[in-house]
A and B are shown apart, each in its own frame.
Chain A
Amino acid sequence: MGMQVFHRSTNVISRVTIFGGLFAVVGALFLLAAINRSPWATRQGIAREQPVQFSHRHHAGELGIDCRYCHTTVEDLAYAGMPTTQTCMTCHVQIWSDSEFLEPVRASWRDEKPIRWIKVYDLPGYVYFDHSVHVNKGVGCQSCHGDVDDMNVLWQNPSLHMEWCLGCHREPEQHLRPRDQVFSMSYHPPADQLSLGLQLLAEYDVRPRTECGACHR
């Protein structure tokens, strides 16, 4: 009937575009999901430079300074606390007092301007998180923050996705440790973590909440 509107190749092109379109849509969705889970979106595992070249491996690992020496409010408040310049200076007026690495600390001390530490674990404003309840109910620092005693420059250890929070809130018995081991960096869970976990769950009266209002207050 009349002239041909389309070239013969249109048959192939139309088949390719129909099936290709399907693959493109599915592929784009997978790509979005992958980007959402990548460190590019979550900052997981990316070392963050701080205004001072401070090494957790040196202080917490090699010297064995307790977490609470600097993060003083972790047992009592929602916020674990960042060390004041005075905290650094308790040692560094004596030790390495001339080191050029410590110049920003001395400047802060001299000018009475606090050091602006970079927040590595930056939860969104709509999430309520309380350090004290976790620490007091047998969740080790290491459980969330990883092997800080082995990190020169700190990075965010978990993804901080909500599924990561819920993973523990739904199965706390898999992660609990005795209270006296909370600040230990060398604790290893026993072979039967489940029975210990269930025992601690009852002993510490751990009742993690999973409803929306627990964290989104």
Chain B
Amino acid sequence: MSDGARPAEATVVPPGAIIGPGQTFGSVTDKISSAVLDRVPRGWWIGFGIGLSLLMVFFTALGMLFTYGTGVWGIMIPVGWGLDIINFVWWIGIGHAGTLISAILLLFRQRWRTSINRFAEAMTLFAVACAGLYPILHLGRPWLAYWLVPYPNTMGMWPNFRSPLVWDVFAVSTYATVSLLFWYVGLIPDLATLRDRSKNILGKKIYGIFAMGWRGSASHWHRYETATLLLAGLSTPLVVSVHTIVSFDFAVSVIPGWHATIFPPYFVAGAIFSGFAMVATIAIPLRAAYGLENFITLKHLDNMARVMLATGLIVAYGYMMEAFFAFYSANLFERSMMHLRFTGPYAWSYWLLILCNVLIPQLLWFKRVRTNTIGLFLVSIVINIGMWLERFVIVVTSLATDFLPSSWGIYTPTIWDWSTYIGSFGLFLTLLFLFIRFLPMISIFEMRTLVPEAEVEGGEEHS
């Protein structure tokens, strides 16, 4: 299929291309910065309105929680970890795709990452913001959250360094800090573009302050490249370490269904699986709404779907191994736990999880599904649900029916559990829409390296 026979229509992207034809430095800059500098489309207001409404739901739920305590949730003994911890793991997992795209794919010189890395990094940040709230809300007395940090205090105490929950504090806060820095450093050249193109003085000033005096000189670019490379190097281990430590929250304990050595790799694969699903969930509507088919091409969607398929298979292997371990260990409690997962009170969640995370993602073997925006969008939604169910299965079914049948109990989330979850979408969407409105959602200067003009001086060299 050569596009030579067709009339020069800018919207027809040849298959396999990572940028549409006929793009120039100027057209890339115009297109991406227009989303920020031009009139706000009606769709943005609708999306932002939905986000803000859900954010109000979140505030209401938090108001209830702070007023009446964690008793408004359905958690009890034995299920002391409920939706709050499920949501924490779910959100933090989603963040991993952004870091993978921005760090590992950068180091591997995967140039197709260019058009999706900016908003994937933003998604990481906002997902980590949502995730980070949950353990703090879970404390019951969130105003004492600073006790998690080791600092010379008047109590003569340090946090328990042998507890994975403390490792979590370091893992998540490091992750948030490095992600923020990486995202911000990557934004600086584009902030300078917005400063120069902004039509009013206030915009010039605000973008100017955050551009930190960027003039695009050779020494600026040199330092920029060094900083990016260093941050990519710092972020790379984080892709693996953060969710490994999150999995330790479970694996280090002795609860049947948690105490498994496969947890770290299985959690990391699940995180990337859910993260790419979320990137696709966001990218597909954005691409349609802002007409970005030239920048986020079918090749991108295809690549993301392949990553989902690969990590989905690892996750499926994890589920298989969980069942196998229970059988092979010959441990009564492990076997009973697995048996109850298959047939117990929460069996619906387990089979729904298998449907969402193992069966439906097999559709991604077909190129027709991978390159069909609606099909891929639906599969990505299903995966998001499936990964949430996975954490539900792990957290709830393991706790509800542990060693002693006399201490078993059924956890039912209350309306405040659900509204705290639904509400966190409000925080996520509000931040995401503010980001889309005020910052370039695709890296302008990196996209410029993909256009034919950049090839003259050997665009291959540019990472």
Of the candidates A6, A14, A162, the one whose C-beta lies within 8 Å of that of B156 is A162
Cα separation A14 to B205 with both chains bound (whole Å): 13
- Chain A: interface size category: 10 to 19
Which label, helix, strand, loop or mixed, suits the secondary structure of the A interface? helix
List residues of B (201-248) whose CB comes within 8 Å of A's CBs: 201, 204-205, 208-209, 212-213
Q: How many angstroms between the C-alpha atoms of A37 and B208 in the bound complex?
A: 43
CB distance A5 to B154 under 8 Å? no
Please tell me if A203 contacts chain B, counting CB pairs below 8 Å.
no
Q: Are B213 and A163 in contact (CB under 8 A)?
A: no
User: Inside 8 A of A167's CB, which chain B residues have their CB?
Assistant: 156
Whether the pair A37, B196 counts as a contact (CB closer than 8 A) is no
Q: Tell me the complex Cα distance, A164–B205, Å.
A: 52
> Shortest distance in angstroms between A103's beta carbon and chain B's nearest beta carbon?
41
Question: Do B156 and A5 touch across chains, with their CB atoms under 8 A apart?
Answer: no
Which chain A residue shows the least CB distance to B195? A5
Q: Which of B155, B195, B204, B212 contacts A163 (CB 8 A)?
A: B155
CB contact under 8 A between A166 and B205, given known A5-B195, A14-B212, A14-B213: no
Interface size class of B (residues with CB under 8 A): 10 to 19
Once the chains are docked, how many angstroms separate the CA of A163 from the CA of B152? Answer: 10
A68 on interface, CB distance cutoff 8 Å: no
B215 CB, nearest partner CB in chain A, Å: 8
Q: Is the CB of A2 within 8 A of B154?
A: no
Are A1 and B154 in contact, with the CB atoms below 8 A?
Answer: no
Closest to A11 in B: B213
Nearest Cβ distance between residue B153 and chain A, in whole angstroms? Answer: 8
- At the interface, yes or no: A159 with Cβ under 8 Å from chain B? yes
Task: Mark each residue of chain A from 21 to 47: 1 if its CB lies under 8 Å from any CB of chain B, else 0.
Answer: 000000000000100110000000000
Assess whether B5 is interfacial by the CB under 8 Å rule: no
Is B157 on the interface with A (CB-CB < 8 A)?
yes
Kindly list chain B residues whose C-beta atoms are within 8 Å of the C-beta of A33: 152
* A161 in the interface (beta carbon within 8 A): yes
Contacts of A2 in B (CB 8 A): 196
Docked-complex contact A159 and B196, CB < 8 angstroms: no
Interface positions of B (Cβ within 8 A of A): 152-157, 195-196, 201, 204-205, 208-209, 212-213
Residues of A within 8 A of B (CB): 1-2, 5-6, 10-11, 14, 33, 36-37, 159, 161-167
Q: Given A1-B196, A163-B155, 12 other A-B contacts at CB below 8 A?
A: A5-B204, A5-B208, A6-B208, A10-B213, A14-B212, A161-B156, A162-B155, A163-B153, A163-B156, A163-B157, A164-B156, A166-B157
